[in-house]
Amino acid sequence: MKILLMGNPNVGKSVIFSRLTGIEVVSANYPGTTVEYTEGRMKLGERMVTLVDAPGVYSLDPTSQVEEVSRKMFSLGADVVVNVIDSTNLERNLNLTLQILEQGRPTVVALNLWDAAVHKGIQIDIIALERELGVPVVATVAVSGQGIHELVAAIGKARVPPPVHFETADQRWARIGEIAARTQVVSHRHPTLLDKLEDISIRPITGIPLAVLILYLSFSLVIEIGELLQKKVTDPLFLAYSQFITGLVESHTSGLLRDILVGTTPELLKSFGILTTGLYIPLGVVLPFLIPFYLVLGILEDIGYLPRLSVILDALMHRIGLHGAAILPCVLGMGCSVPAVLSVRILESPKQRYLAATLMTMAIPCASQSAMIFGMLAPYGLKYIFMVYGSLFLTFVITGFFLHKIIGGESPEIFLEIPPYRMPNPGSLLKKTFIRVREFLKEAVPYIALGMVVMNIFYLSGLMHFIGQALRPVVSGLLGLPSDAATALIIGFLRKDIGIGMFAPLGMTPEQLVISSVVLAMYFPCVATFMVMLKELGIAGTLKSVALRLAAALLVGTMLHLLIM
């Protein structure tokens, strides 16, 4: 049995999908396209059935590749269609609902965002709406799980709707008006604080200063909380742990094995030991900043601010051949570059996908990389962190403007829906943060341990000195960094956060840390991102992107060396 989830964008369809299936899902491209859908399994009664989350669309009359894919998925057949509706925008959502009902498929309607509708003074008579549509209707609040049990029960009782047909779109919209008039009552209410904030944050004259303020406060909050956690929690714990593990290892081992495990110095950031520096970097330096970073990012996601940031930046994005919707891959890139590169599929033209993937992976550090930058530079002051991100932002804009002028191809408009502000659900926010932190630890700790082994081998064998001398004209001459930084830059191809962590034992000045952080962010994607770019941009596109990055990293690093040192 196959169940198809369909609905407009931003109605909470994917959250309902996650509620029904859990996290064991498979994402895939629809054959012949770059449009992605998600498939999972759910329990219906005593049997397991397939649930497919189709791309969000406004109509079954396709006007884009996404709507074409959803139309084909619908045409291929589904035993039950679950149409997810935004309760706060009943009339607009019913256009797709009536098109689905015209096809005569067993259908269930989920009135999602029910709580938001109540807060807006919108009352919908569910029994009357069921009578008008001829199919089961269930009120749901996906983020809290309200109504999900009732939805599953309704799916099991789904039935074919009464025959309905409209000769023209005007007839369908007239019927929508009748249904809304008979089932929906909108009460007068005074604008809330969130309503006023919606207006303020979308207007350029107030939205731009607000965006700057929010970003500044977000960075400051992450740094303040991170420094507090590091000072009060992780540093005391690791100081005691380091003394214990060093004594334990030295009493049972010696020579090379001891050096690999705990290093040659008691300083946590300079020992290169797997059990000392290898654990201190991800757990003592990165984790205290990563947790508040993901919490702040989750709040901005859940409250609905990020789409408004897209609109505010739309004019700037057009200058570089993109548009406001491209901010969404950029925001994903603040978490991890891999899903961010995959998400460039939402952009219509090859030019836009190339620009977004190149600029985002070059100038937007991932979460663990940002946490490492915070950890390395926060002790020297906020200005050094802003120097890193200011340099990357200017690189993003200038490179994008340059590429937009020399690369042919269209940059079509995309209309982005702006959802209302909603208060984040604390439980969902904490769960999302926990999952993200857990995935970081699963990936980062083994890689950083491997990086420590490599660094030790390079250092003890003299290879680090050899590489440093070979690249000295570039690393020390142009960039003004210690020659040993060449090894860290090379290891950065494995993981960017590891590369920055490798700078810590080199005793660099804050200015050198700024230059090294910027160059490492720009010069080459990590290996996981590189493989995804090969898939999305092809070999030629990826190689062009990498060559551009290498040249830009060298140019920007050299300019920073001349300006700040």
pLDDT 10s digits, 163-185: 888 888 899 999 999 999 999 99
List the single range of 177-191, 323-337, 357-371, 390-404 with lowest mean pLDDT: 323-337
Domain ranges of the chain: 2-186, 201-564
Q: Where are the beta strands (DSSP E) in 97-160?
A: 107-112, 122-124, 137-139
How much is the pTM? 0.60
Place of tokens 């549509």: 133
What DSSP element (H or E) covers 72? helix 65-75
Query: Does pLDDT of 198 surpass 80?
Result: no
Q: Look at residue 4 and tell me whether its pLDDT is greater than 70.
A: yes
CA end-to-end span of the chain? 66
Output the average pLDDT for the chain: 80
DSSP 8-class letter at 141: B
Q: What is the rounded distance in angstroms from the CA atom of residue 479 to the CA atom of residue 550?
A: 13
More confident residue, 529 or 123: 123
- What's residue 22's pLDDT? 67
User: What is the per-residue pLDDT for 409?
Assistant: 59
Express each pLDDT in 32-54 by its tens digit. 333 456 778 888 877 888 888 88
- Local structure of residue 444 (DSSP, 8 states): H
**More confident call, 67 vs 324:** 67
The burial of 235, by beta-carbon neighbours within 10 Å (0-12 exposed, 13-18 middle, 19 or more buried), is given as middle
Integer Cα distance of 425 and 407 in angstroms: 43
44-58, 450-464, 496-510, 550-564 — which one is most confidently predicted on average?
Answer: 550-564
525 Cβ partners below 8 Å, 6+ apart?
Answer: 337, 361, 533, 546, 549
Tell me the average pLDDT across 296-321: 75
Residue 28 pLDDT grade (very low, low, confident, very high; cuts 50, 70, 90)? very low
Quote the CATH superfamily of domain 2-186.
P-loop containing nucleotide triphosphate hydrolases (3.40.50.300)
pLDDT at 23: 52
Q: What is the pLDDT of residues 212-237, one digit of tens each?
A: 888 788 878 887 888 888 889 988 99
pLDDT for res 471: 81
Share of the chain above pLDDT 90, in %: 16
Which comes out higher in pLDDT, residue 304 or 98?
98
Residue among 512, 510, 511 nearest 476 (CA): 512
Mean pLDDT of 526-542: 80
Q: Answer for the pair 335, 497: CB distance below 8 angstroms, yes or no.
A: no
Which of 190, 525, 521 is closest to 376 using CA atoms?
521
Angle at which helix 169-183 crosses helix 90-102, to 10 degrees, equals: 120
Task: Check pLDDT > 90 for residue 377.
Answer: no
What is the sign, positive or negative, of the torsion defined by CA atoms of 261, 266, 269, 270?
negative
**Position 410 pLDDT exceeds 90:** no
Provide the percentage of residues in the chain whose pLDDT is more than 70. 85
pLDDT tops 60 at residue 417:
no
Sheet harboring 47-53: ordered strands across? 25-29, 36-44, 47-53, 2-7, 80-86, 107-112, 137-139
The Cα angle at residue 423 between residues 417 and 429, in degrees rounded to 5: 100
Q: Is the pLDDT of residue 334 over 60?
A: yes
Of these ranges, 124-133, 408-417, 425-434, 436-445, the one predicted with the greatest mean pLDDT is: 124-133
Task: Reply yes or no on whether the pLDDT at 84 is more than 90.
Answer: yes
pLDDT over 50 at 30, yes or no: no
Q: What is the pLDDT of residue 69?
A: 72
Instruction: Give the pLDDT band of residue 343 (cuts 50, 70, 90).
Output: low
494 confidence band (pLDDT: 50, 70, 90)? low
Identify the pLDDT of residue 29.
38
Mean pLDDT of 433-460: 72
Residue 255 pLDDT greater than 90, yes or no: no
| Higher-confidence position of 247 and 129 | 129
